[in-house]
Structures are given as C-alpha cells and as structure tokens.
Structure 1
C-alpha cells in the first residue's frame, strides 16, 4: 500500500489571510517599492516550505518557492510572493496594470522524505506527491499539482523533474541521485476570493 504524507490542516480563514498577505506584498512592492521585512521567530511547527504561483489568463506568470525555510510562514509567503512577481527568470517582472488580473496560488509543503530509486515508483502518487531530484549540484522540483495538470504518470513525472534540473530524464535512476517526495496544501484565490482583500495580517514592510 502506498503511504500518504498527510499535511497539517490550514483552516479556511488562515488560507484566505495568507492569500491576502501575498497579494498585499506584491502590491506594495509594485506600487511603492516596499519589500517585506523579516518577522518574529516562527511559531512551533511553522518550519515549512512554500511556493507562490501566479497565473494570468490561465497561464503561468511566475512561480518561486523554497522546499524548507527557517522563516515564519507569513514572512516566507510575503517574500516568495514578491520574488514570484519580480524574479522568476522565465518571465518579465509583473507590471502594476497586471496585478488585478493575476490569480495567486499558494502551496504549503510538508517536510520531504528521501526515497530510494528502487522504491519511488511504488511510493509516488501523482496528484498527492511532489518530487525533487538532486544530482551533482543540480536540483529540480515539481509540485504535486503539476502531474495531474499535465496528465503525467509517475514515471513521466520523475523524468520531467530531472529535465527541470537540467539533467537527463533517467537521472533519477543514478545511484548518486537523491529523490525526495513531499505533499502540499494547495489553495488559490479562485477558492478564496477574499484573498484579494487588502488585509496584510500584521505584516510589516520597509
């Protein structure tokens, strides 16, 4: 039986607040050149990774994340939101006139588990797990929602994660490769339209 890594539950009101924080952080950066400040020490259990994904007219417009971070979740979401809007090398920086049309999606990650290559096809559940593959200083990561969006099976998901790292598609089979599985709580402004509100949840800026 394939295991599931159950993520901690983020209540709906907290999801909406985090989305609002991400939007207000992007707005402050685009309109006022204010970047998020570091916040207080994280709460117990807050040591988690996160990704912020931006979509415009149904297309990817930016995505930046960290697999784990010592920062409080509020700080991490605010910083990653600004980076997704301004530093994704695949896209030009987001412009102020695009802000209202952008949809923000957050993926809050569980701690990753290293899985041997011999076991990964039995352990990996597409639509449940995200994958990271590391080899020789290169690392690729794809979020859990990517495989079902693209119609990939587990084998293809591993190959595409390798390609994301700039590695050959079968690099995950290399004895020196490190394969990590994780899950994520994924939610967006499509589900929580209050994320467009101006409340920043106490986030400070400089």
Structure 2
C-alpha cells in the first residue's frame, strides 16, 4: 500500500473542527446555518471519506463516518458531525450541556484497498474493515493505539466489530481491507 499523503494546513484543520462545532450547535439550537459555509481552499472541496469522533472526558460520545467521499469533504464532515452527535445508535443524542468540554477528532480517509497479507498491517498506520456476507466492521487506525492492541488483537477486534468470531480474519471467505487516514 502506498502511503496516503494529505497535507492539511492548520487553518484547514481549524476550519473543519469549527465546522463540526457549528454543525452540532446549529442542530441543537435550531439557529444558524442548515448547510455548511463553503471553504476557501480546493482541498476541502475534494471528495474524500471522513469520520468524526466525539469524546467527553476521554470517553467516546459518538463516532460516525463515510468510507468514501460522495461529495465535498467539508459537506461530509458537516453531515458526519451531526450524525455522530445525534444518530450514533450507541448513545443518546448530544445535549447542549455536553457541548462544553466536547473533544473533536476528525479522520480523513485514504483509498480503501484489499489487504494482501494481514501480517503487513501496521498498528497506527492502517485502519481495517472485515467483511463476510452481510457482516462488516471497521476500526480506524488510531483505535489499536488507544487500546494498546498488537496486530492480532486489532484483527480480532475488527472481526468482533463485524459480529464475526475473533479468528474470522484467518478463515476463507472473510475479506480484509485496509486504509490509511489523516487524524487530527
């Protein structure tokens, strides 16, 4: 896999993080724009997949994303911010009181490719998708780092996320895909 190179300026990163806050606040209050303000740089208008992760006091509060770009990056981030805040089925919708102290992490995804050999997976570099039949699970590259997992644990946990046995990554019929991400 060729390394995914995407260079966002500090201003572009700030724009996207501010956009997440605006998307959530406008939905919470019913005031403000219902669509995102257009960015000034072309990179933010390119079609890329993205995930928005919300945390409070170090605990996950919501995480939703799109694997591939199906519109401009800024629009994807806006939509995923609202989805992470209000539609993550693992959590109740975010409240106004939770806005203070909300930590935002954005992951911009590179291309999704079949993983040629699970032993090539690098912790902190690759995100994974396991797929078999109707089951599919995804873990972002930062997840095994946060949990202190080694490669085998990462593969097993991605299988579990897909609702598969932990050893399914070794079995024929299980498709493994990998990707890289820029995380900030």
TM > 0.5: yes
Mapping for residues 174-189 of structure 1, pairs under 5 Å? 174-187=171-184
- What is the DSSP-based 3-state SS (H/G/I as helix, E as strand, rest coil) of the residue aligned with 2:77? helix
Aligned counterparts of 1:129 and 1:164: Cα–Cα separation in 2: 16
Equivalent pair of 2:127/2:179 in contact (CA under 8 Å): yes
Q: How many pairs are equivalent? A: 180
Aligned counterparts of 1:135 and 1:14: Cα–Cα separation in 2: 37
Counterpart position of 2:4? 6
TM-score normalised according to structure 1 size: 0.81
For CA contacts below 8 A with separation 6 or more, give which structure has more relative contact order. Answer: 1
Counterpart position of 1:16? 14
Aligned counterparts of 1:149 and 1:125: Cα–Cα separation in 2: 14
Equivalent pair of 1:39/1:75 in contact (CA under 8 Å): no
Q: Tell me whether 1:128 sits opposite 2:141 in the alignment.
A: no
Counterpart position of 2:89? 89
Aligned counterparts of 2:19 and 2:93: Cα–Cα separation in 1: 19
Cα RMSD after superposing both structures: 2.0
Counterpart position of 1:105? 105
Equivalent pair of 2:19/2:36 in contact (CA under 8 Å): no
Residue from 152, 156, 161 that aligns with 1:155 = 152
- What is the DSSP-based 3-state SS (H/G/I as helix, E as strand, rest coil) of the residue aligned with 2:55? strand
Aligned counterparts of 1:38 and 1:102: Cα–Cα separation in 2: 20
Counterpart position of 2:170? 173
Mapping for residues 42-81 of structure 1, pairs under 5 Å? 46-81=46-81
